[in-house]
Chain A
Amino acid sequence: MKKHEIADVLKQLDTIPLPDKQKILSACSQPTASDEAVPSTVYRRKLRFKPLIAACAALLLLIAGTTYTLAAEVKEYKEAVIFFKEYDFSTDGLSRGEIKKVYRDIMTRSFTYSKTAEVIEKSISQSAIGGYEIFQDDPTPEDLENLWNYYNGRYWVKNVIKNKSNVSYKYYSEETHSDNLGFDVHEKSIFEKYVDNHLVWSAEFNDFWIQDFAVSDGKIIVFGKKNSGLQHSYAYMALIDNDGTILWETKPENGFENEYIGAILPANEKIVVFSRGDYKYLCLSEYDLKGNALSFHKTEVGNYGIWNAAKLGDGYIVQLGSYINDKNARIVKVSSDGVIMDSFTYDSDDSKYYITDMIEYNGCIYLSAYSVPVLENEEKNAGSRSDIAAVLNYIFDNQMFNISNEELTKLVRDNFTAVLLVCNPASGIPQEFYSVKGSLGGKLALSDSDKLLWDVESITNTSYSPATSAFTIGGESYVYRYTFDENGTILSQEKTDEIVRFMR
Chain B
Amino acid sequence: MREKHINLICDRAIIEFSQGDKDALSGIYDCMARMIFSVAYAITGNYQDAENALQDTIIEITKYAHTYRGGSNAKAWILAMARHCSIDIVRKRKPVVSIEDTATMDIPEADSDLSRLEVLDMLSVLDGEEKQCLILRLYAKMPYKEIADILRISVASAQKKYQRAVRKLKDYYL
Contacts and interface: CB of A to CB of B under 8 A. Distances in A.
Nearest to B37: A18
Interface string A429-448: 01111110100000000000
Contacts of A11: 139
Contacts of A133: 71-73
Interface string A123-149: 010000000010000000000000000
Interface string B52-81: 001100110010000000011100000000
A13 B119 contact: yes
A156 to B, nearest CB: 33
Given A24-B55, A31-B22, A349-B163, A432 B41 contact: no
A431 B156 contact: yes
Given A6-B122, A16-B114, A25 B169 contact: no
Given A19-B54, A27-B59, A14 B5 contact: no
B170 A1 contact: yes
Contacts of B102: none
Interface in B1-55: 1, 4-5, 8-9, 12, 22-23, 25-27, 29-31, 33-34, 37-38, 41-42, 47, 51, 54-55
A16 B119 CA distance: 11
A29 interface: yes
Given A3-B138, A27-B55, A124-B4, A9 B118 contact: yes
A6 B4 contact: no
A195 B118 CA distance: 65
A435 B38 CA distance: 27
B122 A9 contact: yes
B155 to A, nearest CB: 5
Interface residues of A, number: 42
Contacts of A15: 117
A348 B159 contact: yes
Contacts of B134: 6, 10
Contacts of B26: 21, 25
Contacts of B22: 29-31
Nearest to A15: B117
B43 to A, nearest CB: 12
B38 A16 contact: yes
A28 B60 CA distance: 9
A25 B13 CA distance: 15
B154 interface: yes
A28 B172 CA distance: 42
A16 B37 contact: yes
A435 B155 contact: yes
Contacts, number: 113
Contacts of A25: 25-26, 29, 58
Contacts of B59: 27-28
A18 B35 CA distance: 10
Contacts of A47: none
Nearest to A123: B8
Contacts of A394: none
B143 interface: yes
A362 B166 CA distance: 35
Nearest to A109: B30
A21 B25 CA distance: 11
Contacts of A433: 155-156
Contact of B5 (A7, A12, A86, A120): A120
Contact of A109 (B27, B159, B166): B27
A3 B58 contact: no
Nearest to B42: A13
B82 interface: no
A28 B119 contact: no
Contact of A21 (B29, B138, B144): B29
A248 interface: no
Most buried by A among B54, B62, B144: B144
Contacts of B156: 430-433
A106 B4 CA distance: 13
A392 to B, nearest CB: 23
Interface string A103-125: 00011010100000000100010
A10 B30 contact: no
Contacts of B54: 18-19, 24
B145 interface: yes
Nearest to A83: B12
A417 B145 CA distance: 11
A87 interface: yes
B99 to A, nearest CB: 19
A5 to B, nearest CB: 8
Contacts of B71: 133
Contacts of A111: 1, 5
B143 A12 contact: no
A5 B57 CA distance: 30
Contacts of B135: 10
Nearest to B59: A28
Question: 3 tightest CB-CB pairs across the interface, nearest first?
Answer: A1-B173, A13-B38, A432-B154
Given A13-B139, A30-B25, A348-B159, 13 more contacts: A2-B170, A3-B166, A9-B122, A10-B122, A16-B37, A16-B47, A16-B117, A18-B33, A29-B22, A109-B9, A432-B156, A434-B145, A435-B143
23 contacts: A1-B172, A1-B173, A6-B134, A9-B119, A9-B122, A10-B139, A12-B117, A16-B47, A18-B33, A18-B34, A18-B37, A19-B54, A21-B29, A24-B29, A24-B33, A24-B54, A29-B22, A30-B22, A109-B31, A124-B4, A349-B166, A432-B156, A433-B156
